[in-house]
Structure formats: C-alpha cells, structure tokens
Amino acid sequence: MYQPANAVRLHVSLAEIDPPIWRRLVVPSDWTLDRLHLVLQAAFSWTDSHLHEFRIGGLRYGDPDQLEDGFGGPQIFDYTGVRLADFTGQDLTFNYLYDFGDDWTHVIRIEEWLSLDPLPRHAECTEGARARPPEDVGGPWSYADFLETTRDPNHEDHSSNLRWAGGHFDPDWFDKELINKDLRNTFRKNTSRRLHQPKPKPSGR
C-alpha cells in the first residue's frame, strides 16, 4: 500500500569551511521553516542569539518583524507558513543564514523523501562531523585564524582565545548522542543552550 512521504532527509553543511562541518538530519515533512530553524540551531549547537533567514529559489523567508529593514529591500516571506512538505518531490538545495555579521551560511540539500512508520516525534541527527565554530568568532576566515592560534601554544593569542572559547576547543568534536538529546528538547520552553562545547572528561589512570 502506497504511503506518502512524511519525512525528509537533509544534508546540511557550513559553506566556506574545509574540512567540512556537516550534519545529516531526518525531519518530519509537515514542520515549518521556523521549526527547522530551531532544529538547525540544536544540530549545530548554536545559541540562537543572532538574526537568521532562509533563502530558497531567490526568495527570503524568516520572521518579518525581525528582518523588515524599512528601506525597500527584498520582501521577507513569513516562514511560519512554509512547510518542508511544500517542496515534496523536489531535488532542492537552499541556504540558511545565521548571524548576519559572521554570515554562517548552511547549505541544505534534500537527499530523500521518506515514508516512516511510525513518524518520529523529533528531528534526528543520523551522521555528522566536526564542531561548529565559536559564536561571534568572525566568520569562516576569522575561524581559520582562530584555529591557527589555538593549535600553536607559542602564539601570542593562544591562551586568550582558548579562554574566550571556554577554556577548550576541539574542532573535530562531534557527539551524536548529545546532539540528539538537544534535538529532543528543541521545542521545550526555557531550553538551555550551551555556549561552549563540553570539556573532555579526565582520562583514568
């Protein structure tokens, strides 16, 4: 018996970063773009402290109350009325921008439309790699400089940058279990968001 698609598998990667920082996500297809925004925040461990928008087919989608600039710029379409299911069957790639200062562009590619039984109640991260950059680090180019300083103990900014990043930063950190825990809590009120990645536990003797 034919069952229509009720979920979508997405591949999401940060632009202009090499080696890539990416996540593979399964999301219910009836979720709207404002819910996908929160899913992406949780999947990449961002803190949702900056402006954001989606860019799909040359159009901008977001929160009009936050993004209307009053200067006659491109129209902002309300993302609360746009579902992933509105693109069912399309082989689509689109962008999600977070922090218009650092300009973190997430390239989202629809990999497959899925028919799941039962339909998951939460988004799920099935694969991924590497930690997202620190908030307010300055964008892809500044992130490269940040990594250079934290890798070189003799660099004059080594200690100060590590302190700013919470005392520890591992660019290869990826904890799927922790990310999925965050995804399960995505829509709960007063959800706490970690500013820094967890510090490694001391190894036993």
Domain 7-131+173-185, CATH homologous superfamily name and number: MM3350-like (3.10.290.30)
Map out the domains of the chain as residue ranges: 7-131+173-185, 132-171
- Rounded CA separation 57/99 (Å): 21
Residue 165, pLDDT above cutoff 50: yes
Residue 123, pLDDT above cutoff 90: yes
- CA distance to 65, 97, 125, 204, per residue, from 47 (Å): 20, 14, 18, 32
> How many angstroms separate the most distant Cα atoms in the chain?
65
- CA distance to 83, 84, 96, 154, 177, per residue, from 181 (Å): 24, 23, 22, 37, 6
Higher local confidence (pLDDT), 122 or 4: 122
Name the least confident of 11-20, 104-113, 191-200.
191-200
- Residue 204 has a pLDDT of 54
Is the CB of residue 96 less than 8 Å from the CB of residue 54? yes
Three-state helix/strand/coil letters over 130-145? CCCCCCCCCCHHHHHH
Residue 205, pLDDT above cutoff 80: no
What are the pLDDT digits (tens) for 83-119? Answer: 999 998 888 999 999 999 999 999 999 999 999 999 8
What are the pLDDT digits (tens) for 128-142? Answer: 999 999 999 999 999
Peptide bond between residue 19 and the one before it cis (omega within 30 degrees of 0)? yes
